[in-house]
Structure 1
Amino acid sequence: MSLPQVVTDPAKLPILFQDALNAGDVDAVLALFAPEAGMRTVTGEHLVGADALRAEIGGTVAARGRLTNVPRLTLFGADTALLVTDWTMEIDGPDGERIAPTGSTANIARRGPDGGWRFALLNPRGTA
């Protein structure tokens, strides 16, 4: 999968994330994150940095994760954006059975010096 060199519209990040994850392209997913970005997992664990994100995303790919994102709201100003997205993740559960949890994210993206937008913080549990 090939990502645009620079993501100039923060509203495109959720679909780019979805497409890269569904393609099983961990590197393309990680390219959407700012350096030292963080993520709260659906289990509530807080991860920071490329190594932790790679392990989490790699685990999702290994479990045959299939993500559907439906962007709901994008607000931005001062080089920061709030992205609210509804999601469904089809994935192999711990017992091997296919499950499909859903939720809403509250994610933050930042515009970098190159003008490109990248995720700074993902929270798939939204405000919970």
Structure 2
Amino acid sequence: MSPVVTDPAQLPVRFQDALNAGDVDGVLALFAPGAGMRTVTGEHITGTAALRAEIGGTVAARGRLTNVSRHALVGADTALLVTAWTLEVDGPDGKRLAPTGTTANIARRDADGGWRFTLLNPLGTA
């Protein structure tokens, strides 16, 4: 998967496809340096090591993500991406869980013309 995404609306699709393929590096390539994320437990993490641990944990739990785009609003080399999601994962007891939510994510256009996530918030406004 190429890390350069020329349409910010494609970022959630690329994220979904890389995660579902178990490609942690592919997911991380979609993030700008120093990017952050609010996890589904409400913790705010930043940096590659923390993002790798979070994404790696989802892959280890056999995560299967489905994203449905709601809005992609672009202005001044910044995009607000609102996406409905379902994430199937193995719970601690081995049972399959399928939490859902709506993200409010921010991306920016870099000097190379590619779009990358700067902040992910899978809990939306919650």
Query: Normalising TM by the smaller chain, what interval?
Result: over 0.9
1:91 paired with 2:89, answer yes
Measure the CA separation in 1 of the matches of 2:96 and 2:80. Answer: 31
Map 1:1-128 → 2, pairs under 5 A: 3-128=1-126
Contact 2:38–2:44 (8 Å) recurs in 1: yes
* TM-score (ref. length: structure 1): 0.97
Measure the CA separation in 1 of the matches of 2:79 and 2:3. Answer: 19
Contact 2:74–2:80 (8 Å) recurs in 1: yes
After superposition, the C-alpha distances for 1:20-59 in whole angstroms (9 at most, x for unaligned) are 0000000000000000000000000000000000000000
Displacement after TM superposition at 1:6 (Å): 1.7
- Where does structure 2 lack aligned partners over 5 or more consecutive residues? none
Q: RMSD of the alignment, in Å?
A: 0.6
After superposition, the C-alpha distances for 1:66-114 in whole angstroms (9 at most, x for unaligned) are 0000011000010100000000000001111100000000000000011
* TM-score (ref. length: structure 2): 0.98
Letter in 2 for 1:26: V
Measure the CA separation in 1 of the matches of 2:2 and 2:58. Answer: 23
Contact 2:3–2:30 (8 Å) recurs in 1: no
Measure the CA separation in 1 of the matches of 2:39 and 2:3. Answer: 27
Measure the CA separation in 2 of the matches of 1:4 and 1:55. Answer: 22
How many corresponding residue pairs?
Answer: 126
Measure the CA separation in 1 of the matches of 2:67 and 2:3. Answer: 22
Displacement after TM superposition at 1:4 (Å): 2.7
